[in-house]
Chain A
Amino acid sequence: MSNLAPMLSLRDFSVSFDTARGPLYAVRNVNIDVADGESLGIVGESGSGKTVLSRGAMGLLPKRAAHRSGTVVYDDHDLSQVPRKELREYWGTGMAMIFQDPMTALNPVRKIGSQLTEGLRIRLQMSKTDAQARGIELLTRVRIPDPEAVMEKYPFQLSGGMRQRVMIAIALACKPRLLFADEPTTALDVTVQAQVMQLLSELRHEMGMSMVIVTHDLGVVAGHTDRIAVMYAGEVVEIAPTKQLFANMQMPYTEALMKSIPRLDAPSGLRLPVISGRLPDPTQPETGCSFASRCPYVTDKCRAEAPPLVEISPGHSYRCWFPIGGSR
């Protein structure tokens, strides 16, 4: 983390939901900073709380169902104290989000042009002609061929990769300083996935944005992030600069996630290592380490007592009593 004040800073950030079985703790005491111009990856399985974390940080969670605690400081403003109506002032120009599913996140009955220029017209109060021209420029920027024609099309007329590019163009329309990308490539083919990740990285450098990429695939963020936070059962279990994390991972969960990625350089026909078991029930927080029930190295201490987040080198912290690099 840099010495400058971070652009976004989460402190003791927690989110819970009311369910019939009692409160469900989706995000627990997360402390994360995002620096100016930085790219942060948030990696974890389905249900680890990564999506709730990013939506919670932007204030996009349903008000009635979700309870937030802790602080979200964006650019010296504590967003947790800002009324919901005023939060809109921060959306689009301050923070923007690309949603996972490009099929459902676009409105099927409105033309691309109208969805793309909406933010420009409302947030930046552009005239119709200016917004139209800027819309075409944005589509060009996300490498959509024939942007004038695409402005007049409906989402169903575009392929998945094209729709995701449109989503990116919409998110970038008002030049946000911080872009959240929630599983931006999960719904896409491998070839298109590579293109979209490349595009996001280029745009980030061009526009000097900060970016938070949320994904379940460590492989996707390896080449596109400065730092990675690994989440498990609502907690950050390891956070480190990307190269440091891959070179010197400490938490057994990070190792397990890494090993379960099918690799081209592995011999064919071998069994893939798996993480046995499943995420703990989020309505019943564990007393010990949340990964204890699935960890290959578990001891009695792990079941009894939750490990704190400890720093091993600048910016590299993990939660584990018996880290992989340590004396095991």
Chain B
Amino acid sequence: MAGSGKAHLRNSEEIILRVEDLTMEFPAGGKKFVRAVSGISFDIERGETLAIVGESGCGKSTLGKAILQLPKPTSGSVNFQGEELTTLNKDALRDIRPAMQMIFQDPVSSLDPRLSVAKIVDEPLKIWDRGDEMWRSNKVDELLNAVGLDPALVRDRRSYEFSGGQCQRISIARSLALEPLLLICDEPVSALDVSVQAQILNLLQDMKERYGLTLIFISHDLAVVKAVSTRIMVMYLGKVCEISAPDELYSRPRHHYTHALVSSVPIPDPNVAARRTTLEGEPPSPMDPPSGCRFRTRCPGATDLCAQEEPQLHEVSAGHYVACHWPRP
């Protein structure tokens, strides 16, 4: 898997973000490097929700942060609305940042416990000196209302007084304050209960429509992303396995890894759950990835070719790309 290639990149005026050959390496002592992201390319059209799915350690969070240049990627290009972010200087990059916001996995620890909710949501507006105090106060109320919190009740309270789901609502309000174009959501619901998870997913959908957002939704759970995404990119050990629209991906996963991920999702039915297959073992170390296809060590369909040659992304049906020498039927 886990191939490279750019066959899936589109040529459209609606593309707002195009990432090419992005790599991110971290020194790991001696002359070793952790290759968290190894040559990833993808693009996003305005209004799309791209889900990036994979196991822990596949590089999906690193990729999300690398887009925001946090920190700058080791190599490759990130083109956001015609600007090449990797070559921008600090000030120019800072001017672009309001258009790209992020919400984080742990809603509780990503809010400052000493600030009131109003201050948390107001902070980006204040830093960017938007409007006067009156305007900002109204804007904060509008944002809190939009995410389903009653400003009169929550404004003066602190984040620790709220549940995980409510804290995630506050995070979302804060991320929308500067009216971004692109919102990167890094596992926004994996710390939440199933019932609250559904509320936050619906809220993100609402916010997307209301504010015209483009979303990158990072998650390890295919069932969660199914509800929100328009396109899904499956990652394994720093490489792309498969890209497709959700319905096609779920009904006919072509990559063996995608198939394993799909069959790992628990099915709430006692009659079905007993006969599932699971993926054996854990991903190899990104410091010393396998040759050829990176998934071959756990792949039921691996052959000698997979060890010798890295598969490239190729189109198997309209809009459905897979990096595998032996894709599933």
A216 touches B250 (CB 8 A): no
Q: State A218–B195 Cα separation when bound (angstroms).
A: 11
Taking the closest CB of chain B, its distance from the CB of A216, in whole angstroms, is 5
Q: CB-defined interface of B222-258 with A at 8 Å, one 1/0 digit per residue?
A: 1110111110000000000000001100100000000
Most chain B C-beta atoms within 10 Å of own C-beta, residue among A189, A192, A224: A189
Q: Which residues of B contact A217 (CB under 8 A)?
A: 194, 266
What's the Cα separation between A14 and B270 when bound, in Å?
A: 30
A216 to B247 Cα, complex, angstroms:
27
Contact (Cβ within 8 A) A220 B197: no
Size of B's binding interface in residues, CB under 8 A: 48
Q: What are 17 residue pairs bridging A and B, where the CB atoms are less than 8 Å apart in the complex?
A: A45-B193, A160-B56, A190-B266, A191-B260, A191-B279, A193-B266, A219-B265, A223-B272, A223-B274, A243-B271, A262-B223, A262-B224, A263-B223, A268-B250, A269-B246, A273-B198, A274-B198
Task: Tell me if B114 is interfacial: C-beta within 8 Å of chain A.
Answer: no
Stretch in B40-48, B176-184, B199-207 with 4+ CB within 8 Å of A: B199-207
12 further contact pairs, Cβ within 8 A, besides A195-B280, A257-B194, A268-B250:
A159-B56, A193-B266, A217-B194, A219-B194, A223-B273, A243-B270, A243-B271, A246-B270, A260-B198, A262-B227, A271-B205, A272-B198
Contact with B along A271-310 (1 / 0, CB 8 A): 1111100100000000000000000000000000000000
> Would you call A246 and B269 a contact (CB within 8 A)?
yes
Name the residue on A nearest B166 (C-beta): A278
Whether B282 pairs with A162 at a CB distance below 8 angstroms is yes
Question: With A159-B56, A189-B220 given, is the CB distance from A262 to B266 under 8 Å?
Answer: no
Contact A222 B273 (CB under 8 A): yes
Find out whether the CB atom of A190 lies under 8 angstroms from the CB atom of B268.
Answer: no
Residues of A within 8 A of B260 (CB): 191
- Find out whether the CB atom of B271 lies under 8 angstroms from the CB atom of A272: no
Complex CA gap A108/B212 in Å reads 46
5 closest cross-chain pairs (CB), A and B: A223-B273, A219-B266, A272-B198, A219-B268, A268-B246
B-binding residues in A (CB < 8 A): 45-47, 145, 159-162, 189-195, 197-198, 216-220, 222-224, 242-243, 246, 256-258, 260-264, 266-275, 278
Interface: B73 (CB within 8 A): no
Across chains A and B, the number of contacting residue pairs, with CB separation under 8 Å, is: 140
**Measured CA separation A272–B206 after assembly (Å):** 12
Question: How many angstroms from the CA of A268 to the CA of B244 in the assembled complex?
Answer: 13
Q: Is the CB of B270 within 8 A of A222?
A: yes
With A193-B264, A268-B229 given, is the CB distance from A256 to B195 under 8 Å? yes
Task: Report the separation of the CA atoms of residues A260 and B192 in the bound assembly, to the nearest whole angstrom.
Answer: 12
Cβ-defined contact, A260 with B197, below 8 A: yes
B220→A190 contact, CB < 8 A: yes
Chain B residues in 8 Å Cβ range of A275: 195, 198
